[in-house]
Amino acid sequence: MTNARESLDNSPRQLQVETHGLDVIGDAERKGTPRTLFWPWFGANVSILGLSYGAFALGFGISFWQALIAGVIGIVFSFLLCGFVAVAGKRGSAPTMVLSRAAYGVRGNRLPSVISWVLTVGWETVLCALATLATATVFDRLGWGGGTGTQVVALIVVAGLTVVGGVMGFDVIMRLQTLITVVTGVLTVVYVCLVADHIHWSTVSDLPAGSAQEFIGALVFMMTGFGLGWVNAAADYSRYLPRTSSSRGVIGWTTFGASVAPLLLLVFGLLLAGSSTALNAAVAADPIGALTTILPTWFLVPFAVVAVLGLVGGAVLDIYSSGLALLSAGLRIPRPLAALVDGVLMIAGAVYIVFFADDFLGPFMGFLTTLGVPIAAWCGILLADVLLRRRDYAEPDLYRPDGRYGDVPLTPLLLTLAATAVGWGLVTNASADWLTWQGYLLDPLGLGGKSGAWAYANLGVLAALALGFLGTLTLRRGRVREQEAQVSAV
């Protein structure tokens, strides 16, 4: 069995498949410091895709400065939520979606586990498809053929790297993320230097300012595209740290490691997209490949390397956590097999995006906002639950329906459903036909209906987060105190 001490200390030895699943990590295997969290989080978020978010943000019709402020707030705040959830990992030494049982009950937690599983499978599918499209674009520009054959080979390679990393588990992921951090960090800096002359500040600064509603829409999109896409996996790596690790350190290193690369990439992405309307539009169809159109030919292969590695880095973390979420939802198979199952689904979804979908950005935004609402509700409930607790988790009871955390408590489940219903009523997405039913509260609440100014502000994500958090603080305080009184009596 892979030993967490060896993985965190980076001592040389033979790599093996991690056998840990939903079980608690023993104290003997919990080593390292919060600083080690920097590597997986940085490696997972140093993707070139961060540049494309500049075009996504400007797509809301706002100025450079508005987009920058929305991006900084959205990225840092959303990853700060990940940092707070990560504290639960070092206090409970179990995966995120197992620790969630303290709030939802052992079997009641299957609802958020399924939502979490769908979200992580969706993200790994998107990242795998983008890596495939980027590789094909690079080959096409080089004259090596970027057609179906190239896409098939690229998909096999990208999916293979992702699935192998997810199946092997924690130790391989920690080593892989360190490698990805170094390689992608260096090559990204080179990319920035090569395309810097495509920035025209006069054009960027002339972008007109948008409305407050458009600014909020961009901010929420940044939240869902970054931290809220990771929050359901935030404790999966901190669970390997000693219980005595600094909570502030866990929060700080998680937030810093995850935020620093997206912030830098966003700034440059905004400058590039704001300088060229053609590039801005091209990113919507091929977010990574479009960035190759301004590169010299000799750097296309290194660009393909940095693009693929960055996207694989995120996909590997997603497939690892999606496997854990699948187990938490009730499927009883070994963790490596769960990761393999998710890998098959990832490949099927990537095939659809690469070979059949006509548009990327519309379905992508619909996916983020639709699942962002229930995940925000779950996040608010879990954060409030973590805040209310003064003691470490009673780990055996996280696996016993008759334990102190209960089986199917109604309050958190009803709160999740209510917050989600409100949230979906306050979001819209005109680019995805299957989401036209959303936004049903915009007219009754006097917000202008589905075509009004607030239609694309995505208020539903913020509303779900706030309702879940405040509702749990109000309704569950007494229950948490009862649970912790039982802990002290044991």
The C-alpha atoms of residue 205 and residue 50 are separated, in whole angstroms, by 21
What pLDDT, in 10s, does the model give residues 86-126?
A: 999 998 888 899 999 999 999 999 999 999 999 888 888 88
Q: What is the mean pLDDT of the chain?
A: 87
SS3 400: coil
Check residue 268 and give its pLDDT.
93
Percentage of residues of the chain with pLDDT beyond 90: 48
Higher pLDDT, 145 or 484: 484
pLDDT at 203 over 90: yes
Check residue 4 and give its pLDDT.
35
pTM of the model: 0.85
pLDDT at 355 over 90: no
What pLDDT, in 10s, does the model give residues 242-266?
A: 988 999 999 999 999 999 999 999 9
Phi-psi region of 369 (alpha: psi -120 to 50; beta: other; left: phi over 0): alpha
DSSP 84-120: HHHHHHHHH-S-HHHHTHHHH-TTTTHHHHHHHHHHH
Check residue 17 and give its pLDDT.
64
The C-alpha atoms of residue 268 and residue 224 are separated, in whole angstroms, by 20
Check residue 429 and give its pLDDT.
78
- Angle, helices 335-355 vs 300-328, to 10°: value is 130
SS3 260: helix
Whether the Cβ atoms of residue 480 and residue 388 lie closer than 8 Å to each other: yes
Check residue 2 and give its pLDDT.
35
Domain positions in the chain are 4-489
Q: Which of 324, 328, 343 is nearest to 112 (CA)?
A: 328
What pLDDT, in 10s, does the model give residues 269-312?
A: 999 999 998 888 888 777 877 888 888 888 888 888 888 888 88
Hey, CA dihedral for 17, 19, 21, 27, is it positive or negative? negative
Check residue 289 and give its pLDDT.
78
The class (CATH top level) of 4-489 is mainly alpha
CA distances for 128 relative to 105, 211, 251, 314, 364, angstroms? 34, 35, 29, 9, 13
The C-alpha atoms of residue 473 and residue 469 are separated, in whole angstroms, by 6
Residues 6 or more apart whose CB falls under 8 angstroms from that of 313 comprise 43, 44, 46, 47, 176, 177, 180, 181, 184
Check residue 417 and give its pLDDT.
97
pLDDT mean over 363-379: 86
The C-alpha atoms of residue 197 and residue 3 are separated, in whole angstroms, by 48
The C-alpha atoms of residue 52 and residue 370 are separated, in whole angstroms, by 21
pLDDT at 59 over 60: yes
Residues 6 or more apart whose CB falls under 8 angstroms from that of 212 comprise none
User: Which letter, b or e, does each residue of 3-27 get, where b requires 16 or more Cβ atoms within 10 Å of its Cβ?
Assistant: bbebbbeeeeeeeeebebbbebbee
pLDDT grade for 11, boundaries at 50, 70 and 90 = very low
pLDDT at 487 over 70: no
Percentage of residues of the chain with pLDDT beyond 70: 92
Amino acid at 45: N
What pLDDT, in 10s, does the model give residues 183-198?
A: 877 888 888 899 899 9
Q: Six-digit token pair at 350?
A: 């990537």
pLDDT grade for 490, boundaries at 50, 70 and 90 = very low
Q: Which of 362, 59, 206, 200 is nearest to 67 (CA)?
A: 59
pLDDT grade for 9, boundaries at 50, 70 and 90 = very low
CA distances for 479 relative to 84, 181, 378, 388, angstroms? 21, 43, 18, 10
